[in-house]
Structure 1
C-alpha cells in the first residue's frame, strides 16, 4: 500500500509569478484528473522562492484561493474543506511534502492531496540573475491498496561536515532597504555540482543497500547544472540488486534539455510529467526520485508505477 500519483501538470513561463504558475498548474492537474475538487482534503505548497518574498500568510493559502478549492469553512461543510500549508526544505521540498502527504493518506483513503511547487524571482520579473527557470508544477496524490504500487519511504541525508552550504540566498536590509520584498542575493560555491553529486550518490547508495530493489528503470533527479543526472547515474552502485535480480541500469531525464535550466523545487514533478507519456508499460516500471540542494541535503525514494 502507498501513495500513488494520480496526475501531474507543468506550466512553463506563463509569467514570472510563483503563485500564478503553481495555481495554473494545480488547476490543469485537477481538470486532467477528472476528480471532484471537493475531494482534495489537503493542498501543500512546496516552492521556495515566492512572490514578494512572502512569509505570511502561507503561499499555499494564496494558491488555494486562486484555484478555488475547499474555501467554504462553515461547520456544515467539514468534508468539503481543504487544509493548506507550506512545506519548505529547499530543493527537497517536494520529497518532504510527499512524506507528509503519505502520512495523511494512510489515515484517510477517501481524500486526495495536491502538491504544487515552483520558483520565481520575488520581483515577479524575468530577472537575469535569477538562477532558476520559472516553472509551476502540480502533483495529485491518491492512495492505493496494492502493495506493489506507490512511494516507498523517503530517505534523507545531510552534509554533516559543518561546512557552509554550497548555495544560499539572503536579503540584506541595509542594502535592499524598502525594496527588500523584490530582492534576493545568491551566493554559490564554485564546487557546488561536485558537492551535490557526492552527497546525492551517497544517500542513494545507502538507500539502495537497505531497499535492495529488483529493478530501477529511471532516475528522476534534480538538475542544478546540465548533465547532473547523467553524472549521478555513473556514481551509483547498481551492482547489488536483490537476490535473484540483475544489475540495474536506469535511464535519466534531461530536465535542462526540456526546460532550459534548473527548475529547482519543481524538478521531481516535472521529471515525472516528462517521462509518463513516453512509457510503454507503466505497470512494470520502477522509478527512483532524487533531489539535492542547499543545506547541503539530499532526499530520495523509490516509486512503483
Structure 2
C-alpha cells in the first residue's frame, strides 16, 4: 500500500492583528481534517516543520501547541482509542516538509500510525511580515494529511536528499548588536546575490538525478519546484498569500497549484522538489490516486 495525500490546505495571514504560527498551522490542519471528513482522533502523529515563529519562540515545541489547538488525542486515559497523539518539531528549513514525508512513510509502513499530519508555518517574529521590507517570507502555513491507500500504484516514492556545492546563501538570525529591547520581535535574514538562480540550478540538477535514479520519465511528469506562486486554489476558492515568498509551506502550496491546474496529456505523476539554504535539496515522486 502506498502513502497518499488525503487532504492538503494552506492558511495565510489576512487579519489586522499579529500573525501566529500556531494559529495558522492549526487552521490549515483543521481544514485538512474537514476536507478529508475525519476526526482529530484519527491522527496518530503530528509533525511540525516551520522555522520562523512569533516572538522568536523555540520552546516548547510548537507541534505540541498545534496538537492542542486541533484537539488531537489530548488525553490517553479519557480517550484511549485509537491511541494518544504524538507530536514533535522537525526543523530543516525549506526541505522540512519532504523530510517529514519520509518519516511519515516509516510510521505508516510499520503500522505505528493510521494517519500522519504534517504542518508547516512561518510568521515574522513581530507578527506581520508586511511591516518588514527586508524580511523575504510570507506569513503562511500549509498542511498535508497522509494515510495509506489501497491503490498499489498511488502514493509517494522514496525521498532523496542532495547536497549542493559552496556555502549557505541564506542566513536567518537574531542580530544582538541591533535588537535592543525588541529582540523578541526582530529577525535578520541575509541572502547572497544570485541565490534564487542557484536554488533553481540545484533544483534542476536534483530533479534530473532523481529521475535517473528511479527511472522516471520527465516528459510524463509534472515537476513541482521550489518557487511556488503567491496564490492557490483550494476547494474552489483562490487565496492570496501576500507579497512575501512561501518558505517551509512551499511544497504544500506547489502541490495544490499543480492539482488545481489542468493535467498535461500523458502525465502520470508529480515530482516535488524543495531547496534549502544548506545548500541542500530533497526530491520525491508522487502519483495521486486516480492518475
TM-score range, shorter chain: 0.7 to 0.9
Q: How far 1:77 moved relative to its partner?
A: 1.4
Q: Which residue of 2 aligns with 1:273?
A: 256
Q: Is the 8 A contact 1:44 1:115 kept in 2?
A: yes
Q: Which residue of 1 aligns with 2:98?
A: 95
How many matched pairs?
273
Q: How far 1:110 moved relative to its partner?
A: 5.9
Q: Which residue of 2 aligns with 1:156?
A: 161
Render the CA deviation track for 1:227-268: whole Å, top value 9, x for unaligned.
xxxxxxxxxxxxxxxxxxxxxxxxxxx514654441111111
Q: Distance in 1 between the 2:34 and 2:225 partners?
A: 27
Structure 1: stretches of 5+ with no match in the other structure: 224-253
Report SS of the residue matched to 2:136: coil
Whichever structure has more helix as a proportion of its residues is: 1
Are 1:196 and 2:170 counterparts?
A: no
Q: Distance in 2 between the 1:219 and 1:270 partners?
A: 13
- The TM-score with structure 1 as length reference comes to 0.82
Are 1:5 and 2:5 counterparts?
A: yes
Q: Is the 8 A contact 1:14 1:21 kept in 2?
A: no
Q: Is the 8 A contact 2:271 2:284 kept in 1?
A: yes
- The alpha-carbon distance between structure 1 residues 110 and 174, as it changes in their structure 2 partners (threshold 3 A), is closer
Q: How far 1:74 moved relative to its partner?
A: 2.5
Q: Distance in 2 between the 1:179 and 1:78 partners?
A: 45
Q: Is the 8 A contact 2:221 2:267 kept in 1?
A: no
Q: Which residue of 2 aligns with 1:131?
A: 136
Render the CA deviation track for 1:25-56: whole Å, top value 9, x for unaligned.
11111111101221100011111111211111
Q: How far 1:133 moved relative to its partner?
A: 1.3
Are 1:70 and 2:44 counterparts?
A: no
- The alpha-carbon distance between structure 1 residues 68 and 184, as it changes in their structure 2 partners (threshold 3 A), is same
Render the CA deviation track for 1:261-287: whole Å, top value 9, x for unaligned.
411111111122233244569997300
Q: Distance in 2 between the 1:182 and 1:110 partners?
A: 37
- The TM-score with structure 2 as length reference comes to 0.86
Q: Which residue of 2 aligns with 1:233?
A: none
Q: Distance in 1 between the 2:150 and 2:135 partners?
A: 43
Q: How far 1:109 moved relative to its partner?
A: 7.3
Q: In angstroms, what is the RMSD of aligned CA positions?
A: 2.3
Q: Is the 8 A contact 1:216 1:288 kept in 2?
A: no
Q: Which residue of 1 aligns with 2:235?
A: none
- The alpha-carbon distance between structure 1 residues 22 and 198, as it changes in their structure 2 partners (threshold 3 A), is same
Q: Is the 8 A contact 1:109 1:143 kept in 2?
A: no
Q: Which residue of 2 aligns with 1:255?
A: 229
- The alpha-carbon distance between structure 1 residues 133 and 216, as it changes in their structure 2 partners (threshold 3 A), is farther
Q: Which residue of 1 aligns with 2:224?
A: 220
Q: Is the 8 A contact 2:203 2:226 kept in 1?
A: no
Q: Which residue of 1 aligns with 2:238?
A: none
